[in-house]
Amino acid sequence: MSLLGRIRRPADLHSLTGPELEVLAKELRDYLVDSVSKTGGHLGPNLGVVELTLAIHRVFESPRDRVVFDTGHQSYVHKLLTGRQDFADLRKRGGLSGYPSRAESEHDIVENSHASTALSWADGIARAHEISGQKDRHVVAVIGDGALTGGMAWEALNNITEAQDRRLVIVVNDNGRSYAPTIGGFAHHLDALRTARGYEKVLGWGKRALQRSGPPGRMTYDALHGFKKGVKDVIAPQGMFEDLGMKYIGPVDGHDLAAMEFALRRAKAFGSPVIVHAITEKGRGYTPAMEDVADRFHAVGVIHPETGLPVAPSRFGWTSVFAEEIVEIARKRSDVVAVTAAMLAPVGLAPLAEELPERVIDVGIAEQHALTSAAGMAFAGLHPVVALYATFLNRAYDQLLMDVALHRAGVTIVLDRAGITGDDGASHNGMWDLALLRTVPRLRLAAPRDEETMRTELREAVDVDDAPTVVRYPKGALPEALPAIGHEGTVDVLARTAGDGGARVLLVGVGAMAHTAVAAAAALGAQGIGSTVVDPRWVLPVSEDLLDLAAKHDLVVVVEDGLGTGGIGSAVRDALAQAGHAVPVQTHGLPHEFLDHAARPQIVEQYHLQAQDVARQAAGAVAALTSDAEQPLGQPAERDTRP
């Protein structure tokens, strides 16, 4: 049996010798490459934390000691060391989550895929331990240098530094990258620490200690416990950390098992908050990832493990369309600037940054700052385009509401991966944006249905200079073009089907669900039910043209990939009622709950968002409306009021 196969819980690591741990580290990397290449997932980050995670689980006693990862996509090694060694269905329905999950293991604390939160979690857990008298329990927060660019991390540090009796260890996993090279003043500070004279001294600790601990084959990590040479050089607070009043250990070679374990044992012994600064390399041990300069291996699809190349080339996607179009816009308009929150390449801004680097601003993992800074830029005469994953806009709602919208700032927000993303799980589904953004006064939101409408609506959005505009689109490949067959004012008409009694149903397809609405109309037509299919293009606010069209129908059906309650369907219903149009509205969207990880088609099927589901429910509503024989649709039925 392999060494990895013998590990069922962290305590199993304690009996391993130094050489055995080195073998285990290689087995872990081999397993990650082999398994993730078949399923897709976050490969690069996990290859970089193998020794770091091994050291944490040898020094601390999970689950009694709590280990919190920020972000959770670097927890694959942790999963393997805590008894979860079947990655065959990683990120698939019924398989392991790509993030920590309390449903999977008592060793998991936070389903943490939104960065910069781990220190607040750790502070809260450590406070609870202190208040309840559990002073022999430790909390370990593993946070990347990229996550430390987020303001919430510094809010937590501000409170942690006051807690000198709390057993809290902060491990800074410093690989100089998040999705891309980490930027900002804190990144420069870490650079200075990495290049300090004492760093080389720390890098050699583990190897020298092992050399002195016995003959080859008998070396153990226990020999490190008494090794104190040079300790004062590395536990002295340095620079910024000294100003914060934090004890600091490092920098430590995060791939030197002996050095990492020694540093963590020293940190554990302090009995108060300590920062352990570990230098790691993203993609460590896997040549394609180590040679990559574009962070393609941060998260991968199915790849050939030998080369790292995709098994199936990616189809031209939504993000690529944005990437092309924003470059064209910026070439023609010198006032347009782009803002990203540490995700330059994933949101499609890399081409613009290459051509016009002075017009692209990376603020780090700081969505709140991104929005308010954009409001400031708009006030000073620029038009910022803030590109985010839809799920991360949740973090900057207040700034959008009070800094952008209240001040009528001309800011365009482009939301990638809106709607159902699926395999990344509950925290990454961009399903909240429509309901959230509906509450923002004066905000205009476009949901393109194909490449042409994407390009057109982005240009229209950037032309608005007195209110926030949003363009949202899903993850993945582009659908087939869906041209309009006509127009009703600003509304695109996509299809009309004749029925026995004329047009009865108005199907409103929101963005990516427009194709579903067209297919549902065809199914209704086969049943003799006439319909009109439209794409409002700009779904917020609800247009007068859409209301006028709805008033000519007997039933309105709205299909969206956001929340079914509080989203666009609800907005249409409310607008119709306010305008005095007594037209029933049927909404098809996602439930008001967190969704388990699964593929998008599985989620669409599970929550009855397929065309046949929409058609079946619409047909049922039509049948209910016509239940009184010969009663004209849209007219109130006469009721028998006799006793």
Q: Which distant-in-sequence residues (6+ apart) come within 8 Å of 284 by Cβ?
A: 29, 47, 48, 50, 255, 290
The residue from 282, 284, 417, 449 that is catalytic is: 282
Is residue 175 a known part of a binding site?
yes
Q: For residue 161, what pLDDT is reported?
A: 84
Exposed/middle/buried for residue 343 (C-beta within 10 Å: 0-12, 13-18, 19+): buried
The model carries a pTM of: 0.83
**How many beta carbons lie within 10 A of that of residue 418, not counting itself?**
29
What's the confidence (pLDDT) of residue 144? 87
**Per-block average pLDDT, block size 10, for the chain (643 residues)?**
90 93 94 88 87 96 95 89 91 88 92 83 94 93 87 89 86 73 53 50 48 40 40 44 75 92 93 91 78 64 70 76 97 97 92 96 93 97 97 95 98 96 82 96 98 98 98 94 97 93 89 97 95 97 97 96 95 96 95 90 94 96 74 39 33
Q: Has 147 been labeled as part of a binding site? A: yes
The whole-number pLDDT of residue 425 equals 76
**pLDDT value of residue 114:** 78
Ordered DSSP codes for 576-614: HHHTT----EEEEEE-SSPPPS--HHHHHHHTT-SHHHH
Upstream peptide bond of 313 is cis (omega within 30 degrees of 0): no
- Is 112 among the annotated ligand-binding positions? no
Nearest to 277 by CA among 239, 313, 226: 239
CA distance 627 to 617: 15
Q: What is the pLDDT of residue 449?
A: 98
According to the annotation, is 473 in a ligand binding site?
no
Per-residue pLDDT at 642: 33
pLDDT of residue 45: 86
Sheet with 247-253, edge to edge strand ranges? 66-70, 139-144, 168-174, 274-279, 247-253
**pLDDT at site 146:** 81
Domains, the chain: 3-291 (3.40.50.970), 318-472 (3.40.50.970), 486-625 (3.40.50.920)
pLDDT of amino acid 147: 84
E-strand ranges in 390-461 read 412-416, 444-446
Cβ atoms within 10 Å, residue 280: 27
Annotated catalytic residue within 166, 247, 266, 395: 395
The confidence score (pLDDT) of residue 379 equals 97
Structure tokens belonging to residue 41 = 């997932």
521 is in an annotated binding site: no
Confidence (pLDDT) at 315? 60
Q: Is 106 annotated as a binding residue?
A: no
Number of neighbours of residue 527 by Cβ within 10 angstroms: 14
Which of 51, 111, 261, 367 is catalytic? The answer is: 367
pLDDT for residue 503: 72
End-to-end C-alpha distance for the chain, whole angstroms: 82
Looking at residue 260, its pLDDT comes to: 94
Catalytic residue list contains 395: yes
Phi, psi (degrees; rounded to nearest 5) at 106: -70, -10
- b (16+ CB within 10 A) / e for 63-84: eebbbbbbbbbbbbbbbbbbeb
- DSSP letter assigned to residue 238: -
**pLDDT of res. 297:** 66
Is residue 208 annotated as a catalytic residue, yes or no? Answer: no
- Is the torsion defined by CA of 238, 240, 245, 248 positive or negative? negative
Is there a binding annotation on residue 286? yes
Whether 452 contacts 482, CB under 8 Å: no
Q: Is 114 annotated as a binding residue?
A: yes
- What is the enclosing helix (H) or strand (E) of 210? helix 205-212
